[in-house]
Structure 1
């Protein structure tokens, strides 16, 4: 049997800004590290490739050196051919730590160079880990007919070239190895202005398309952007949540237009794309980091986490709200998670379940189940959550 030739590129800086509330990592990796951010991209790829361990003999990897590729393959025992890339960055086999990441100055140009070199090897699939910025860099230099598949590791993932979670990426590759019928389709690559994003303004733009394996169970849809036209429904949802609020309970208010309506109706400043803390209908802290949430949870007698669904994609965790880390979610508890969504937003899922991709496989499994969704004033519906695998 012919081996599947897979090119591997990891952006080791991807996702660094998420847990420390920077809304992205472009141009701020050093700041993120100084704030205590820990690299996650390597672990995300390990989760994806762990699905493939029993198929080692069926895959031929060609990859960038060090933390851009070979470090993960060495850890899992995969054989590979390493690309001879740039000389400007020290990509030796260092520990996967913030210090190692900061010492290895990878750039968009490093990613583009690796893609160009992989194209010369006539690979069957380019597997890459990153966010929308990484996808955009790859799209700029990728040969039009080279299939790609993204392992979601960034903070913002609007593009439709990513698997719904790392494990799904591995399972899709298994289908290709087995010779299952996996169609290819062109999918949008979108990115936003991170500076505007940090100021609460979403400016998403189409930068191109890339060819991806078409498997609805494993590949995410494009994020639905823009503000809901049914503002009155969102206002009703906000009224319902405010009516339900209890005294002396810490409310962790997630990002999005639906949760923003709660804050607006309370007359509180809101971080549209961040996480805020509220108690007794007063703002306790705004745009909080993971560590700040954990600190607040230490003294909170009771807590509720209020989050909304990303329309089109369906994710409730793992897309733009990495401050809500596995540690945070476990301390809050599944029973204290309140999901908000208009019926229109749920309909955009076309019957597919909502999704969780926290980065912790066991936690994702624990979060699977049916949830009561606040969809209006005194109006609820029941809808399932999946980890995309179970």
Structure 2
């Protein structure tokens, strides 16, 4: 590979920790709530991993924080081939950058964002009937497509060493429905993606039988303990067994029969978190992420405050995963979470599974 096009969606992922579950139409609200940009740092991490292996690549990118700044920070001297018109970038800018990359005959489009950004890139590739492969650096709240590296560094490594491609799915989620607790996934494109072990799979939306697990957990809930319940149907079943009306795709905080925060942001969780505290999460089916996909509100600061992390999943879900993953934006926290853990799979049963 000689030439790569790099485009960053600088607002991707900003809504995660403040509980917005996305930034489509919510950028100003996210900023009012104190959200900070997430994508630029993850872009730099990916490009540093790429630079370590391929420092002589010709890098084409968009101006400013859409790729130029991150590429320079990683060590490259990029050629800027697209300049956004306004201060606030949007989907049209992502598409404009990709069109400019294709005119430069790049070998790969490396994008930084979530599923919405993946759709923007894929649409241009399809419109131009281009066979150029694409690869995603995960930075959005919604990262359900199978075109992303598992972590930013993984994406950078893949971009450096790939030698063949395979067709993979680009899915998008209706954010308004997502905020109301419903996952509506739609297949938007099938695109060529570099083949590598460190690519994530598409999210599986099916729910296994978790009634026994939920009832067992509820019977053992301890008084005086603060429980932080992550999103998803498995954890939602536990909440229902405790008499809680869960926010299926949000984070709820509960103690001694009282919901202290519902569909909470990181700040709201920290405000009510008292020791002892237990975080309850379930891995995303098909991907295995415990932290870092769809639950950014459970931030490194929240994890540091917890006395215990309880991972719950059906045997069926674990059978389809093999290993679990974390991607919190904090390497020290990620490393502290890695290793063998006991995943609760039923009322009395647990299963050793490795977080990698």
Matched, 1:137 2:120: yes
2:336 matched to 1:366? yes
Aligned partners of 2:82, 2:188: CA distance in 1, in Å? 28
The structural deviation recorded for 1:57 is 3.4
If the length of structure 1 is used for normalisation, what is the TM-score? 0.88
Counterpart in the other structure of 2:57: 59
Once residues 279 and 82 of structure 2 are traced to their aligned partners in structure 1, the CA distance between those partners, rounded to angstroms, is 47
Alpha-carbon contact 1:252-1:276 (below 8 Å) kept: yes
Match of 2:313 among 341, 348, 353: 341
Distance, in Å, in 1 between the alignment partners of 2:219 and 2:67 is 51
- TM-superposition CA deviations, 1:151-183 (whole Å, max 9, x none): 00000111000000101111212324xxxxx32
Kept in 2: contact 1:144–1:211 (CA 8 A): no
What is the match of residue 28 of structure 1? Answer: 26
Give the stretch that moved more between structures: 248-257 or 364-373.
364-373
Task: Tell me how far 1:53 sits from its aligned partner.
Answer: 3.4
* 2:145 is the counterpart of 1:159: yes
Matched residue SS, 1:7: strand
SS in 1 for 2:345: strand
* Partner residue in 1 for 2:304: 330
Aligned to 1:221: 201
What's the counterpart of residue 179 of structure 1?
A: none
Give the whole-Å Cα distance in 1 for the aligned partners of 2:346 and 2:189. 37
Could you say which residue in structure 2 is the equivalent of 1:293? Answer: 269
1:126 paired with 2:109, answer yes
1:270 aligns with 2:256: no
- The answer to whether residue 229 in structure 2 is matched with residue 243 in structure 1 is no
> How far 1:281 sits from its partner (Å)?
2.9
Residue 112 (str. 1) matches residue 95 (str. 2): yes
Q: How many residues align?
A: 353
1:128-147 Cα distance to aligned partner (Å, 9 max, x none): 00001101111111144111
The answer to whether the Cα contact below 8 Å between 1:307 and 1:340 also exists between their aligned partners in 2 is yes
Structure 1 spans left out of the alignment, 5+ residues: 90-103, 177-181
- Separation in structure 2 between the aligned mates of residue 215 and residue 55 of structure 1, nearest angstrom: 16
Number of the residue aligned with 1:377: 347
Structural mapping, 1:23-102, within 5 Å: 23-55=21-53, 57-86=55-84, 88-89=85-86
What residue is the counterpart of 2:167 in the other structure? Answer: 186
Gaps of 5+ in 2: none
Counterpart Cα distance in 2 of 1:105 and 1:204:
27
Aligned residues of 1:16 and 1:38 also touching (Cα < 8 A): yes
**C-alpha separation between the residues in 1 aligned to 2:82 and 2:186?**
33
Instruction: Please state whether the residue corresponding to 1:128 is helix, strand or coil.
Output: strand
Q: Which of residues 187, 191, 197 is equivalent to 2:178?
A: 197
Once the two structures are superposed, what CA deviation does each residue of 1:272-315 show, in whole Å capped at 9, x if it has no partner?
A: 00000010132111011001112223xx1200000001111111
Cα distance, 1:56 vs. partner?
A: 5.2
